[in-house]
Structures are given as structure tokens and as C-alpha cells.
Chains A and B, each alone.
Chain A
Amino acid sequence: MQDSKISQFLSYTLILLLVVVYVLPLLIVFNVSFKSFEEYLLNPMGIVTDIQLSNYVEAWNQGKFSRYFWNSILYTSASTIITVIISLLAAFPVARGYVKWAGFLYLFFIMAQFLPNPLVAQFKLMLSLKEHMPLIGYDSKLGYILLKATGTGVVFMMFVGHIKSISRELDEAASIDGCGYVRYLFQILFPLMKPVIATGVILTAIGTWNDFVGPLLYLTSPENFPITTGLKEFRGQYGNNWPLLACGISIVAAPLIGLYVLIQRYIISGAMAGAVKS
């Protein structure tokens, strides 16, 4: 079916208008980040005339972004790795029926998505853990990681679906060759599941890196802040100094945009798969 010239023109116009609404804010932020405060006040939206790279140095140091950045890396990588491992440990025996009540366990694990919001009791739990086991309680790095590492939910569901498509005979063949359960999981199954694991990693990592409310609730000491909380604090500190705040936004967004450009194909197909299968 060939579209008429007019409808094609209209399609492009509409899409490009929307692209402007999505891209322009980023360009404006970037532009403002190079301005001196005086230049911003005189001409907030004009193209920058006198580029102030020192803004970035100041924002980086004042905002303590290097510390927050490393915290975010720690939280994201640790909880993503744990999520993938425990999802695999749960998904394989459930998908294969190697444990009793596999069907019930499957339902039990995915129930999380329909249950009442656990926020209130989670908070209470973290507070009492702080009393008894401070290492994994409220305002501890490990506690936050464990809280974010979910072995159930969407990743678990995708894993179960994918394992079911892998032939059961492979299990038997491997066991005849003397392969044990754990070795089978990590040396044979793991490589076969690469695409779905990549999806799980990406979804979990985006979720953890960008979690905004979780750290506000569970991490109160500045040395535990991830970058999202760091940015919020920085904003509180600098009020309406938009050139510096724009530097803060750029510092947090730039690595994400860079990474996104490199692996956007996988992120997008991952998000599609994750959403459609949930």
C-alpha cells in the first residue's frame, strides 16, 4: 500500500514535532550548563557566547558526584547480579518441574505483581532489621541492595518462559556426561539464555539506577546516596542557579545517554520483550 505524498508529509511533520518536544529540552539544558550565572540571567535561552567549562568542575566537586556515582554503580551491579542469579535458581526447577508444587511456586512468585503495596511493612522491616542486624537494615548499603534484588517478577517470568523452550533432553544428556546441577545451570544453561538474560540485566539495571524514591526512604546517610539522591540534594543546595543545576543534570544524564546510544537496540528490544511477556 503506497501512501500519498500528503499523508507522508503529515506523518513526518507530526513525528518531527514530537522529536523536537523530546530532544529540545536536552539541548536547552546542555546549552544552559555552559553559561555563567550572569549570562543566564540576562539571556536565559540564547545560545551560549562565553563557554564556562568551570561550571562542570564546580558542579562535580560541590555535588560530590564522584562518590554518588560509585554508589550507584555498586547498587546497580550488585542487585542486578543477585537478581539474575536468584531468578535463575528459582526459574529452572520451577520451569522443569524438578521440585514439588512447581505450579504453585510459579504462581506464588509472580503474585508479587498483584499483592497490596508492601511499602509500609517494608519500611517497618528495614527499621527493625537496623535494630537487630544493622548490616542489612535501614540505611545500609547491603540492605538496600538486597531490597532491590528481586528474584521474582518480570525477570523470573521471562526466564521460566525461555527455559521451557530449551529442550529437556539437554538436561539428561548433560547429566549422563556427569554434569552436576549447579554446573549445568551456570555452564550450559546460562550461555543458552544469553538473550533473555541480557533483557533481564537491562531492565533491572535501568530500574535500580533510576530508582528515585527507594534511596530517599532507605538511605539517609550522604555516604550511601546514589546519584539520583545526589542530584536531588544538589538541587536543594543550588536553588535556582540553573547553569550549575544544568551541569548536574548533564553529569548524571551524559553517561546514560552515551550508554543508551551504544546499546539502544538491545534496550528497546528488551523493553518490548519485557513488557509483552509480563
Chain B
Amino acid sequence: MYPFGQGPARYLPYLLLLLPLAQYVIFYAGPSLFTVIYSFTDITNVPGKDYHFVGLDNYRDLFFSGNASERWDSIGRTLYFTLVVTVVQNGVALLVAVLINKRLRGDTFFRAVFFLPVVLGVAVVSLIWTMMFDPVGGPVNQIYQLFGYSDTFFGSFEHAFEYIIFVQIWMYMGYSMLIFLAGLQSVPKELYEAGYIDGTTSWKAFRHITFPMIAPAFTVNMLLSIIGAMQTFDIIVATTDGGFNTRTMAYDVYKETFRGSLEMGLPSALSVIQFLFILVFVVLAVHFLRKREVEH
């Protein structure tokens, strides 16, 4: 029962709900739906100009027109990016979380340090690493030169993309670590004590106690890094701006909407494709991870 009055007063929650509803529908849900609709039209970003439905033309153009090979390249790159980021970021984060959870002295300090890049943000982080990777005076190149090697980092076709992957992992490792840590702290200590009496080695304890117990944290981390990596493009904008073969699907959506032609059908279609990719990955990940959660 609604306790705050009868009659017209009963409708106050509805009235106030209109504010969030309007904000959400106008700026998010609406545009999301319209992106799907636009993907079947020849709409441009000239306000007021009319547009027509063109069926699947945009999708055909995406994959079979002159630039199709670039498109396939950026899809491949997106998958590569997602795979490496998900595996390395969560691997390092899990290791760090397990170590910090051993109650090392200074654990709050370590935690704070690893999370710092998220607070600093993409603009600062990207510029810091551009400086670190500066081919002339940057410290990383000076270390490389000790080994008789040298690189131009964000400025070459060779490895620019790998350096972006590195920056992404550096920036968000702390986030994954915190989630693992939250999971680890919920594991009851008694389990380890019981294992210790039975003579369990620490590897076995990790394999059979820790790992199953943090399965939910593992699922959250996998999902967050898969979705995050598939959609990341701000670091790319801030470092190479898509140069030197560093374009991903998310970057292409951004580039074609805002800097390229006036056409909006094509980037809309690309957004839809990107959404489908994310959907497939999330469904697959949830399927396999849930199975693991249940088994133990």
C-alpha cells in the first residue's frame, strides 16, 4: 500500500518519475533504438534532411564495399584486443589480488597505487605514456637501447597497437584487482585451516579452495573486461588517433560518425554489428562461467 496520501497525492511518485524517465528515454534508450533504425536508412547528420529506408544496404557496404578489408582488419583487431586484455589484465589482477590478500605490509597502499590510473583518467594516462614512450627522450626507449633495440612506439605500424593494449591493461588492472580482492575477502578462513591440517600445498589450496570460491568475482571480471575492451576507443583516440593500424570497431563507429562523411547509416550499422559481437561474447562467457560456478 502506498502510505503517502490518497487521491491526487497518490500520483506524485508517477509525476516525479517523469524526470528520470525523460532523461533516460531522450538521451539513452531513444538514441539506442534509433541507432538500430538508422542502420537501415541513408540518413545524414544534416538536421532536417529527409531520409529513406535502404534495407540492408549499409550492412552490405560495410562488409563488401571498397573499404571492406579495413573493416575485417578492425574486427580482427578488436577480437585480438579483447582477448589479450581479458587474459592478461585478469591474470595479473588475480595474481596481485592473491598476493595482497596475504596481508602483506602496506596492502592498502598497494591497492591505492594500482587503482590510481582509473582516477587519473584517459587524458592524463595517455599523455604520461606518450611521454614514457617518446622515441627521443623517453625512458622506455633508453631502457630498450641498453639492449641494443629501439622503437618508435605509438608512431609506427610495427607495434603501436600492442602499446595501446599495454596502456589499457596498465590503466584498468587495478579495477579487476579490486573485484578479485572483494571475492577473496569473502572466502572463509576456516576452509584454509582445514586444508592446512590435511596437508594441502598452497597451490592445491588455491586450485581447490580459492579458485572455486571466487568464481562469482571471476565472472564479473570477465564480463566487465570483455564488454569494456570491445567498447574501448578513448585510449586509441588519445594516443594514435587511429593511425598506424590501431583502429578497432568502436573506434570506427566514432570516426565515421564524427569525423568522416556526413552519412550516419553506416556507423549505425557498425554499432549494431558491434552490439551483436558483444552479445555473443557475453552469452558465451556467461554460459561457460556459470557452468563452472555450479560444478564446484
Residue numbers of A with Cβ under 8 A of B are 1, 3, 7-8, 11-12, 14-15, 18-19, 21-23, 25-26, 28-29, 32, 40-41, 44-45, 86-87, 89-90, 92-93, 98-99, 105, 108-109, 111-112, 114-125, 127-128, 130-131, 146-147, 149-152, 156, 171-172, 174-176, 179-182, 184, 206, 209-210, 212-213, 216-217, 227-229, 231-232, 235, 240, 242, 245-246, 248-249, 252-253, 256-257, 260-261, 264-265, 267-268, 271-272, 275-276, 278
Once bound together, how far apart are the Cα atoms of A267 and B137, in whole Å? Answer: 35
Given contacts A115-B32, A120-B257, A261-B112, 5 further A-B contacts (CB under 8 A): A22-B114, A115-B29, A128-B48, A235-B127, A256-B124
Once bound together, how far apart are the Cα atoms of A19 and B110, in whole Å? Answer: 7
Q: Is B280 an interface residue (CB 8 A)?
A: no
Once bound together, how far apart are the Cα atoms of A162 and B234, in whole Å? Answer: 32
Q: Mark B114-153, 1 if CB is under 8 A from A, else 0.
A: 1111111111101111011010111100100000000000
13 sample A-B contacts, Cβ–Cβ < 8 Å, listed by A number:
A1-B205, A3-B202, A18-B92, A22-B113, A86-B23, A122-B31, A131-B48, A152-B24, A171-B3, A175-B5, A182-B16, A232-B238, A256-B120
From the candidates B38, B43, B131, B267, name the one contacting A32 in the complex (CB within 8 A). B131
From the candidates B12, B17, B253, name the one contacting A119 in the complex (CB within 8 A). B253
Q: Is B196 an interface residue (CB 8 A)?
A: yes
Once bound together, how far apart are the Cα atoms of A29 and B21, in whole Å? Answer: 45
Asked if residues A260 and B112 are in contact (CB atoms below 8 Å), the reply is yes
Asked if residues A276 and B19 are in contact (CB atoms below 8 Å), the reply is no
Nearest Cβ on chain A to B88's Cβ, whole angstroms: 13
Given contacts A25-B132, A212-B238, contact A121 B99 (CB under 8 A): no
From the candidates B5, B115, B193, name the one contacting A268 in the complex (CB within 8 A). B115
From the candidates B14, B28, B112, B117, name the one contacting A99 in the complex (CB within 8 A). B14
Nearest Cβ on chain A to B268's Cβ, whole angstroms: 5
Asked if residues A181 and B114 are in contact (CB atoms below 8 Å), the reply is no
Which 7 A-B pairs have CB atoms at the shortest separation, nearest pair first? A210-B121, A44-B137, A151-B20, A118-B31, A121-B31, A90-B20, A121-B34
Residue numbers of B with Cβ under 8 A of A are 2-5, 9, 12-14, 16-17, 19-21, 23-24, 26-36, 38, 43, 45, 47-48, 92, 95-96, 99-100, 102, 104, 108, 110-124, 126-129, 131-132, 134, 136-139, 142, 170, 175, 178-179, 181-182, 192-193, 196, 202, 205, 217, 220, 224, 231, 233-234, 237-238, 250, 253-254, 257-258, 264, 267-268, 271-272, 274-275, 279
Asked if residues A26 and B128 are in contact (CB atoms below 8 Å), the reply is yes
Once bound together, how far apart are the Cα atoms of A175 and B13, in whole Å? Answer: 14
Per DSSP, chain A at the interface is helix
B2's nearest neighbour on chain A, judged by CB, is: A98
Contacts of A246 in B (CB 8 A): 131
Nearest Cβ on chain B to A222's Cβ, whole angstroms: 16
From the candidates B120, B202, B271, name the one contacting A120 in the complex (CB within 8 A). B271
From the candidates A93, A240, A253, A278, name the one contacting B120 in the complex (CB within 8 A). A253
Nearest Cβ on chain A to B176's Cβ, whole angstroms: 9
Nearest Cβ on chain A to B116's Cβ, whole angstroms: 7
Contacts of B110 in A (CB 8 A): 15, 19
Nearest Cβ on chain A to B189's Cβ, whole angstroms: 9
Contacts of A275 in B (CB 8 A): 175, 178-179, 182, 220, 224
Asked if residues A119 and B116 are in contact (CB atoms below 8 Å), the reply is no
Asked if residues A216 and B237 are in contact (CB atoms below 8 Å), the reply is yes
Asked if residues B137 and A45 are in contact (CB atoms below 8 Å), the reply is yes
Q: Which of B13, B27, B102, B272 has the most CB of A within 10 A?
A: B27
Nearest Cβ on chain A to B287's Cβ, whole angstroms: 16
Once bound together, how far apart are the Cα atoms of A150 and B24, in whole Å? Answer: 7
Once bound together, how far apart are the Cα atoms of A130 and B220, in whole Å? Answer: 39
Asked if residues A15 and B117 are in contact (CB atoms below 8 Å), the reply is no
Once bound together, how far apart are the Cα atoms of A119 and B45, in whole Å? Answer: 13
Asked if residues A108 and B123 are in contact (CB atoms below 8 Å), the reply is no
Given contacts A181-B13, A267-B119, contact A1 B264 (CB under 8 A): no
Once bound together, how far apart are the Cα atoms of A28 and B205, in whole Å? Answer: 41
Given contacts A212-B234, A271-B178, contact A45 B16 (CB under 8 A): no
Contacts of B179 in A (CB 8 A): 272, 275-276
Asked if residues B274 and A242 are in contact (CB atoms below 8 Å), the reply is no
Asked if residues A249 and B128 are in contact (CB atoms below 8 Å), the reply is yes
Nearest Cβ on chain A to B234's Cβ, whole angstroms: 5
Asked if residues B118 and A206 are in contact (CB atoms below 8 Å), the reply is yes
Nearest Cβ on chain B to A101's Cβ, whole angstroms: 11
Asked if residues B24 and A109 are in contact (CB atoms below 8 Å), the reply is yes
Contacts of B113 in A (CB 8 A): 19, 22-23
B268's nearest neighbour on chain A, judged by CB, is: A120
Asked if residues B96 and A15 are in contact (CB atoms below 8 Å), the reply is yes
Contacts of B224 in A (CB 8 A): 275, 278
